[in-house]
Homo-oligomer: A and B are copies of this chain.
Amino acid sequence: MAKGEEVSNKQVLLRDYVYGPLKETDMVLSTGTVHLKAPQGSKAILVKNIYLACEPYSRKMMMKGDNAIEPGSAITGFGVAKVLDSDHPDFKEGDFVWGITRWEEYSLIKNPESMFKIHNTDVPLSYYTGILGMPGLTAYAGFFEVCSPKKGEYVFVSSAFGAVGQIVGQFAKLMGCYVVGSAGSDDKVDLLKKKFGFDEAFNYKKEHDLDAALKRYFPNGTDIYFENVGGIMLDAVLLNMRQHGRIAVCGMISQHNLEHSEGVHNLTYFTSKRIRMEGFMVFDYYHLYPKFVDLTLQFIKEGKMVVMENIIEGLESGPSALVSLYDGNVVGKEVLCISHE
């Protein structure tokens, strides 16, 4: 393809804002056209998307709010891409980048300052949608910066098999903590223990009483809760937090598909247990990326951290993959492969 050529561009568009459970029909496959050029003076880059991550981020952006996806526009989300044309001094043709792009074959990125250049290509590029990308940095910032962990502390991770949870558990083990995760299937529980090194894990769907489950694994309570789900799990955790416990709120996935969120009842423990709960966004920790990526690459190369991903071919598979994220049957992080570089 010649630079500047007009080519067809397959896209996945948002039909309208989504508030109830996400359905495949909330997304529409469409084909438009694109000039393979970053307009002069625009400071933009024109990229070819290679991998797109299936993540709660994209679901969240389907609700009205800051940075929401406009109905009729392509879904936004994290991905890995190759620069085909650049009007920005920091990027040149052939660079690989990761960051927020769109669910389409080619994207014009108007604010490429928000993209990270990929310097290490001796690991699979798809890792930059996971352990070396947003989920990895989220886990790193949330665990080390927000939770202030100490060696020997007790750590609980919900949605532990999720892209972020898997990594939090591995960081916590490397830090010398005792780590328990919850997940939604026995297969995931098995993998958390056997592949990802969690000390214990349980299938929350099989527990009638989450408080009792937590007491089984943390008879003396937990110091740190890495919160991915919200609702009744948070309520049960609050009953089991230790004095000066810390909760990093990465997300509350159990609440995304509810029109009215569940109430949380045990907040009165905040005072008596001196609990600190802090929501965070990975964007606030971008300055830590170089430090994080050096550390994590080293751990991967030394075999101290493992990766498990489920690569799905083609943009067409995007809607069903994103919906399946919420039915809990996905095993492993889902990544759409859009182009074979």
Contacts and interface: CB of A to CB of B under 8 A. Distances in A.
B274 A276 contact: no
Interface of A: 65-66, 230, 234, 249-252, 255, 260-281, 284
A260 B265 contact: yes
A17 to B, nearest CB: 16
B281 A274 contact: yes
Could you say how many copies of this chain the assembly holds?
2
Contacts of A271: 249-252, 279-281
Contacts of A284: 274
Nearest to A274: B279
A262 B261 contact: no
A277 B280 contact: no
Given A234-B267, A261-B267, A275-B278, 12 more contacts: A249-B267, A249-B270, A255-B268, A261-B268, A270-B277, A272-B279, A273-B279, A274-B279, A274-B280, A276-B276, A276-B277, A277-B278
A252 B268 contact: yes
Contacts of A270: 249, 252, 277-279
B261 A266 contact: yes
Given A274-B280, A276-B277, A278-B275, A230 B263 contact: no
Nearest to A276: B278
A280 B274 CA distance: 5
A271 B255 CA distance: 13
Contact of A230 (B251, B260, B267, B273): B267
A277 B277 contact: yes
A141 B183 CA distance: 39
